[in-house]
Structure 1
Amino acid sequence: MALIPGHTWLFLLTLHVIYSSLVPVTAEEETSECREQEYKDQLGNCKPCKQCDAGHELSKECGFGYGEDARCVSCRSNRYKEDRSLQKCKPCLDCGLNNRFEKGNCSTTSNAVCGDCLPGFYRKTKLSGFQDMECIPCGDHPPPYEPHCEHSHITSVNKYYP
């Protein structure tokens, strides 16, 4: 078969189309990469990442083909996770940093629960009616009608140096 000069590319394209229609392609070969929440097992198959129970998270990242040997481990100190999921443990609320009493402790399965403001502090009420998470000092001139500041007199400690 003689090729007409300049038509070699057309001949090669025709051969490629014929060859590709004869060779079956599986779905796995089309997408050799695993998705966001999948790892590759030893056979190269994509498998869903493990979900860990409440109070546990995966020991390493899992997804996009990685994490075959990931296992569920308990949340680290001051971290929690409330349900069975792929999520990581979240940091617990620190009530002291928000100048509030701690009403309920943080555990591996539940966040800390903050109570009222510490003495000498109050929570601002926003225009929406909701209150800020953080309690702020009442100060020398507390806001009017703020029950947490009415009877709290913060006195400064003066040091005496002879």
Structure 2
Amino acid sequence: MKSRLFICLVLIFSAQVINAQSKAEKKDEKEANELKEYRHIQTIIDSKAFEFVGNWATTQKGRRINLIGNPNYLRVDGTKAEADLPYFGVAQVASYGGDAGINFNCDLSKYEVKKVDKKKRIVIKANASEGSEKFSLTLTVYPSGNTSLYIISSNRNSITYDGKLSKK
């Protein structure tokens, strides 16, 4: 009876050791995949030719709106940017007969890329303007290509878009 108990304990202990090794291997594999994805995103950002497409919009009051099926984008090509994003929120200054969305096609100013290697995150900041409206853009890109675009406008409340970044 004692020998059976001893064999069971040895089997349970060895199974846990094997499981622990596989957890460490899985963790290493996950980190290697994240690093590979991060390097891929870095090359896209360094090319300065990328496109952001939003899946969700979050208003300043916290309301989330699904954008899937609605055409929207922010395209960056060198120092130029083109955006056509829907806007949900409060406008302090409204133009008559204008489009309700965030639309611009202009040169970017104060374009700055900050790479946070420890967290495998890239933050892009830039300014854009269309007519009398000025926009401050903050794009936070995660290793998987998931991206958050935060826009502060001179004429409207801020808004955040969550979506994907891809090569243009």
Name the TM-score class by shorter chain: under 0.3
Higher relative contact order (CA 8 A, sep 6+): 2
Q: TM-score, normalised by structure 2?
A: 0.27
More strand by share: 2
If each structure's helix is expressed as a fraction of its own residues, which one has the higher value?
2
> Taking structure 1 as the reference length, what is the TM-score of the superposition?
0.27
Between structure 1 and structure 2, the one with the greater Rg is 1
